[in-house]
């Protein structure tokens, strides 16, 4: 057993996580990294031949990668255990690379054994739930505009569809982030990267009505400067409350596709691309640091083109 080495790595991982925290990493990222590094420590504990940090070579970490590949996922929503996906293994690899890079930089290791580890090949997937333009129109029409909660939901959907915000970006919006008169919105995205997004006429109109007639009726002492407020306690709206409301509106609008915050983000990006928007502009809107992340929407277009070809080309109907 390598209990002693595992204890050393646990101590170093806490220093590493504190370093990330001071660097502005989100609590969600810290939780994921803590979990991934915890799995490494548990594995090291079971390796009898590992006695010191210098014993952790690239070859050993490759064996750890194999362990992850065969290890069943512990996802609570899965009734039947499945092996970890390539995406989950690559996420763990990113944590290892960052951790060992930190150890080398802080002079605790002479080299980074994770530097040459290979990433797992991931299947190229396209977003599954993308709403059509008529579906979005029905949803926006279905949301009631005669009470405060409905006005909040209307503003939320117009923001999601109009600016392609991530879930946390939407829910963390403050009143001070709005520049309605100028038609802009300040967003703090992943890695504390700030971007300024334009607000379309529809989003401006919904926000103006919500701020005038909706938010004042919802606000309680807990409201502070939060933009979107709960209809239950008057503080910042929770993920579950807003998502449940959006699911109900979608059901009443006859939408049977999966409803989620990211689905609106995918829909906004796809509709912009179909409308002729430049991929670089969509990248800036989404807040992607790498154009490769945005290029997934070009695969959506190819998928649609394939369906059209199969349906309408005379050679495909014979």
Residue 318: alpha-carbon gap to chain centroid: 43
Which entry of 67, 91, 101, 166 is annotated as an active-site residue?
166
- Where does the chain hold its CATH 1.10.150 domain(s)? 3-105
Active site residue 147: no
Mean pLDDT of the chain, nearest integer: 82
Among 4-8, 146-150, 214-218, which stretch is predicted with the lowest mean pLDDT? 4-8
Which tens digit of pLDDT belongs to each residue from 261-280? 988 988 888 888 777 777 77
User: Which one of 215, 249, 265, 271 is the catalytic residue?
Assistant: 265
Let me know if 249 is a catalytic residue: no
pLDDT at 243 over 90: yes
Report the alpha-carbon distance of residue 203 to residue 161 in Å, rounded: 9
More confident residue, 64 or 292: 64
Q: Please write the tens of the pLDDT for every residue from 101-117.
A: 999 999 898 888 888 77
Domain 3-105 has CATH 1.10.3470: no
Write down the pLDDT at residue 159: 93
b/e 110-134 (16+ beta carbons within 10 angstroms → b):
eebbbeebeebeeeeebbeebbeee
Q: What residues does CATH 1.10.443.10 cover in the chain?
A: 133-311
Task: Please confirm, yes or no, whether 288 is among the known catalytic residues.
Answer: yes
What's the rounded Cα separation, in Å, for the pair 100 and 117?
A: 12
pLDDT at 286: 77
Whether residue 297 lies in the annotated active site: yes
Fold (CATH) for 133-311:
hpI Integrase; Chain A (1.10.443)
């Amino acid at each position: 057993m390598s209990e002693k080495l595992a204890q050393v790595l646990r101590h170093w991982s806490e220093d590493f996580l504190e370093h990330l925290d001071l660097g502005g990493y989100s609590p969600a990222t810290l939780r994921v990294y803590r979990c991934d590094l915890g799995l490494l420590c548990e594995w090291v504990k079971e390796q009898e031949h590992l006695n010191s940090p210098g014993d952790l070579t690239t070859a050993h970490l490759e064996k750890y990668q194999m362990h992850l590949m065969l290890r069943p996922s512990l996802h609570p929503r899965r009734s039947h255990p499945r092996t970890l996906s390539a995406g989950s293994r690559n996420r763990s690899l990113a944590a290892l690379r960052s951790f060992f890079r930190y150890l080398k930089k802080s002079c605790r290791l002479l080299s980074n054994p994770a530097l040459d580890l290979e990433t797992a090949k991931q299947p190229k997937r396209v977003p599954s739930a993308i709403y059509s333009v008529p579906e979005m129109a029905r949803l926006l029409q279905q949301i009631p505009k005669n009470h405060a909660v409905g006005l909040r939901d209307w503003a939320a959907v117009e923001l999601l569809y109009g600016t392609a915000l991530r879930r946390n970006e939407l829910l963390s919006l403050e009143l001070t982030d709005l520049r309605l008169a100028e038609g802009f919105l300040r967003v703090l995205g992943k890695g504390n990267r700030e971007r300024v997004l334009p607000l379309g006429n529809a989003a401006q109109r919904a926000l103006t009505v919500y701020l005038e007639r909706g938010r004042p009726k919802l606000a309680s002492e807990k409201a502070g400067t939060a933009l979107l407020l709960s209809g239950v306690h008057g503080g910042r709206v929770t993920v579950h409350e807003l998502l449940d409301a959006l699911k109900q509106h979608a059901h009443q609008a006859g939408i049977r596709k999966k409803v989620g915050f990211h689905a609106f983000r995918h829909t906004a990006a796809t509709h912009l691309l179909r409308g002729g928007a430049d991929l670089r502009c969509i990248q800036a809107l989404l807040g992607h640091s790498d154009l490769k992340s945005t290029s997934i929407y070009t695969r959506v277009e190819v998928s649609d083109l394939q369906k059209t070809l199969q349906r309408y080309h005379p050679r495909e109907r014979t």
